[in-house]
Amino acid sequence: KPRVGVLALQGDFREHIAVLRGFGAEAVPVRRASELPEIDGLVIPGGESSVMDKLSRTFGLRDPLREAIAGGLPVYGTCAGLIMLSSSILDGIEGQESLGALDIDVRRNAFGSQTDSFEVALEVAAIGDPPLHAVFIRAPVVERVGPAVETLAALEDGRVVAVQQGNVLGTSFHPEMTQDHRFHEYFLKRVRAAR
């Protein structure tokens, strides 16, 4: 059984834990650096990236997280988690930092307040048919994709919403909030392969 941690500083970590358990993984909340060596993969949930960033530093997790990811730990970030994984936040709050695990620039409030939340059927070749039911909630968009980054999905207007770079996976949307959990399945496959 793969042991998958979910960063549990803030945000919707409980939902991720439930989905991962549904697929037979041992899912555990992670709040301390000492827990990182004990997991085979890590999910960084949605929530509020500036708060998550601050808490990760307060809890002494920021640098250990960076090291674990650089060491090859499979990681999946959704929404605020994607922002956490980015190398640059175009509209971060004063002093907000990120982990620099994905060579991408993100815009946190890319859709404006008028289109706060929406759902689309998203074509994702890596996931297959039918299109993924994707839920966006005050979602970020990837505005720059580095040469080593693979785009997994984009909206019809071309805006990038799912990327992968080596052991790191990120989506603007929230599969844990739907019944369509094929992205978690995809991530778990990667976790098992990396073990």
Q: Known binding site: residues?
A: 47-49, 108, 137-138
Q: Which of 94, 143, 176, 181 is catalytic?
A: 176
Helices within 71-170 (DSSP H only): 80-85
Q: Which residues contribute to the annotated binding site for L-glutamine?
A: 47-49, 108, 137-138
- H or E element that contains 64: helix 62-70
Contact between 108 and ligand GLN per CB under 6 A: yes
Chain centre to alpha carbon of residue 149: 14
- For residues 115 and 170, give the distance between their C-alpha atoms in angstroms, rounded to a whole number: 21
Q: Name the CA dihedral angle for 171, 172, 175, 180, rounded to a multiple of 10 degrees.
A: -80
Amino acid of residue 30: V
Among 137, 159, 185, 190, binds ligand GLN (CB under 6 A): 137
176 in active site? yes
Among 14, 133, 138, 182, binds ligand GLN (CB under 6 A): 138
Residues 12-51 vs ligand GLN: string with x where CB under 6 A?
Answer: ----------------------------------xxxx--
* Residue 133 DSSP SS3: strand
Q: Is 39 in contact with 72 (CB distance < 8 Å)?
A: no
DSSP 8-state symbol, 19? H
CB of 168 to ligand GLN, least distance (A): 17
Nearer to ligand GLN, 2 or 47 (CB): 47
Q: Which stretch binds ligand GLN (CB under 6 A): 23-31, 63-71, 78-86, 183-191?
A: 78-86
The residues that touch ligand GLN, with contacts defined as CB under 6 A, are 46-49, 79-80, 83, 108, 137-138
Q: Which residues have a catalytic role annotated?
A: 79, 174, 176
